[in-house]
Amino acid sequence: MSTPDFDVVVVGSGFGAAIAAWRLATQGRSVLILERGRRYAPGEFPRDPRDTARIFWDGEHPESSAGLYEVRFHSGIATTVASGVGGGSLIYANNLVRPDAEVFAQWPRPFSAQMLEPLFGRIEEVLTPSPVPDLYRLPKRTMFRDAASALGRPVFDTRQAVSWMTPTNPGQGHCVLCAECEFGCNHGAKNTVDFTFLREAMAAGAKLWTSCLVSHVLPCASLAYGRPASYTVQYRDLGTGREARVTGRRVVLAAGTLGTAEILLRSRESGALPALSGRLGHGFSGNGDFLATLQGSRVALDPWYGPDVTSVMKFSGGGPLFTLAAPSFNQATMNYLASLGQGREHHASWLSNLAWPHLGAALRMTFAAGLVGKPLALAMPGAGPADRMSCLFALGRDNANGRLVLKQGRLDIEWNYAEENRGLIDAMRAAMRQVGDFYGATMAPLATWDLFEKTMTVHPLGGCAMANSSAEGVVDTSGQVFGYPGLHVSDASVIPSSIGFHPVLTISAVALKFADDMVKMAL
């Protein structure tokens, strides 16, 4: 059987991939989408803590454990990303936020807040975001708004890509206010890309192959003037274990910051793409993500009632720019978090014998138990009632100085994060303590910060930054890889700085600009 041939092969199926596939397929291009994970219909997201193979993606053994979440503990920072048709849209908190103009001040031209404005609007036309309706009386939202007022900080309710009362798209349901947004919505209330951009792409003829783990991209025979006629994408079929290849006249890498960088690093190391920019892997950002808990609020918050996040505070002017939200989760998870206790002593009691690189198993076990609220033997009492508990989540302008590298064939992130971003972290922790004081609660950072001064990001950015030249970045301002016409990147890896706001709308707008440019390019 001959290898299929497509105009465009898209690697990944998250926001960047789906937008590229949608624009190109609806313009008559033959498009193939390769996704390493599986499809999830409403009701199919994992909740059984014993079924870890469906909850977690194991990079060492994806054939047997190809779940929804991939958690990695790198040298400099930990990361959590999604795997499945729809990518990060499956587990993000639904928030579509337009960042302040200053975020784009150092981006390559033509990018600016003004230039991105119409692109933001086009994304919103598809994802139809709106705030949580005011008719829902949410104690956690009221308390957070009151805290912002007391601190003199601007606060806004986030617009969320959610069907609150009436399903937006066929096959969807509506929000039941169960605070399971980041676990995969089993009610189909989230306007994820599988219900929107991907569905439209497939209606226009795009093909989707799941369980395809891409490892390399290789140029095929060149045409005149040195332009490759096409590219070969090498992947492993996780269902059969077989290695396979497919060709595309253009290839769009959109496997997420970690996935795309890993494919390009491996392709350069193998000699397939030797001319990739020396900036490949540089400029990684965790978007300043910093997580803590509030325990023992003076009033009941009912944290499991509503979406995960309702509102965002802004901190700027004279100090580091960052934003702050108060995510919370379903009742089972909040009960479990409360059972773990609070503060440095409790954290140390169950983590003190574990080294940073080996925390993955403990975290997977802890997270899985939290889905159904079953405390483990390593749980400690002391956090107080679960209905008086919340998380705090800050997103800030870190220095984006991380570096993605391959070490013995495995992706790592080198970064002295704590020392290089001390001012930002201190400012975020001070703000969290102020919010905690208003709540009458105790604030405790993520345990890994207390023990190791290491944090975790759920918003990895950069590593394949867009720029005006290969000396400054990996792709141009249309997303095309320097030195390799027809090879493109369209995901969070192209973002050239930290954002400090929820990043999905920005990533999507950039991907839409790239897709528009690709439509204009000859095959």
Per-residue pLDDT at 345: 42
Per-residue CA distances from 462 to 131, 260, 345, 498 (Å): 29, 10, 36, 8
**pTM exceeds 0.85, yes or no:** yes
Grouping H, G, I as helix, E, B as strand and the rest as coil, residue 198 is helix
Q: How far apart are CA 273 and CA 484, in angstroms?
A: 8
Per-residue pLDDT at 359: 55
CB contact burial 249-288 (16+ within 10 A = b; e otherwise): bbbbbbbbbbbbbbbbbbbbeeebbeebbebbbbbbbbbb
In the chain, the amino acid numbered 366 is T
Query: Is the torsion defined by CA of 350, 356, 362, 366 positive or negative?
Result: positive
Per-residue pLDDT at 370: 57
Bridge partners of residue 219, in order along the sequence: 231
Among 305, 289, 292, 288, residue whose Cα is nearest residue 436: 292
Grouping H, G, I as helix, E, B as strand and the rest as coil, residue 456 is strand
Per-residue pLDDT at 372: 53
Grouping H, G, I as helix, E, B as strand and the rest as coil, residue 523 is coil
Residue 500 main-chain phi, psi, to 5 deg: 80, 0
Pairing of strands 389-396, 207-209: unpaired
Per-residue pLDDT at 50: 77
Per-residue CA distances from 151 to 141, 330, 350, 436 (Å): 16, 28, 35, 11
Cβ atoms of 251 and 219 closer than 8 Å: no
Grouping H, G, I as helix, E, B as strand and the rest as coil, residue 405 is strand
Among 377, 380, 389, 370, residue whose Cα is nearest residue 345: 380
Instruction: For helices 504-520 and 113-127, give the axis angle rounded to 10 degrees.
Output: 100
Per-residue pLDDT at 356: 54
Cβ atoms of 430 and 331 closer than 8 Å: no
Q: How far apart are CA 172 and CA 181, in angstroms?
A: 14
Per-residue pLDDT at 363: 58
Cβ atoms of 414 and 75 closer than 8 Å: yes
Cβ atoms of 492 and 257 closer than 8 Å: yes
Cβ atoms of 425 and 416 closer than 8 Å: no
Residues of the chain with pLDDT under 50: 1-2, 223-225, 342-353, 375-381
Grouping H, G, I as helix, E, B as strand and the rest as coil, residue 412 is strand
